[in-house]
Amino acid sequence: MFMPHTASMTVIDPLKFNDTLDSLSNFTATSSGSGVNISSSILQWAGTTDGQAIIKYNSQPRTTNQYGAAITSTMTGNGSGIILHCDSSNTGYYGAVFYNSTIKLVRTSGRWTQNTITQLATYSITINSGDLIEFWNIGNVFNIAVNGTTYISQSISSPVIGPLNMFQGIGLYRLSFTNSTSITEWRGGDAGAYGKL
């Protein structure tokens, strides 16, 4: 008796991470200068010495459609960032830069602002304390939203989003007596877990 072949399908459940920043125990920070700390559930630059930091979440999403978000605290003119698709050695990743007057889509490497930054898209908008900044990709299209409204949706040719580039996190720095924007909450995981597919 002929039995037709039935293909099996593996369903990957998306992951959702939500960190209220009570501590840095779920992250690995690489920094110079004063580095970063958490005080009263606010992730911020720790002191008065200039430097840069990349703070990567220890768990990884399951798919290459990624999502990251942050709720802003003290706004400045130095941009912090949400990081997606970083490799283990920080040799390249995509970032959503946010500061008091602008959001940007960038690609860079190393600690946040340590190396050359390639700007891929920018949008002028006032960012206030308590705003929700969202950053996600679906395939090669990268999106940045503020308080639920998408302002950047940029197609990137041949993006680096493979299985070796799955880390997510946050970038902060201090330069010329000014800290970058601090944040009160970080979210990450798969875009599908946040209804972005």
- Tens digit of each residue's pLDDT (9 = 90 or more) over 120-129: 999 999 999 9
With a cut of 70, say whether residue 7 has pLDDT above it: no
- Which CATH superfamily, name and number, covers 18-194? Exo-inulinase; domain 1 (2.60.120.560)
CA 80, distance to chain mean position in Å, is 9
* Whole-number average pLDDT of the chain: 95
Q: 182 falls in which pLDDT band (50, 70, 90)? A: very high
Residue 87, token pair as written in the block: 């490799």
pTM of the entire structure? Answer: 0.93
Dihedral over Cα of 84, 153, 118, 75: its sign: negative
Radius of gyration of the chain (CA): 17
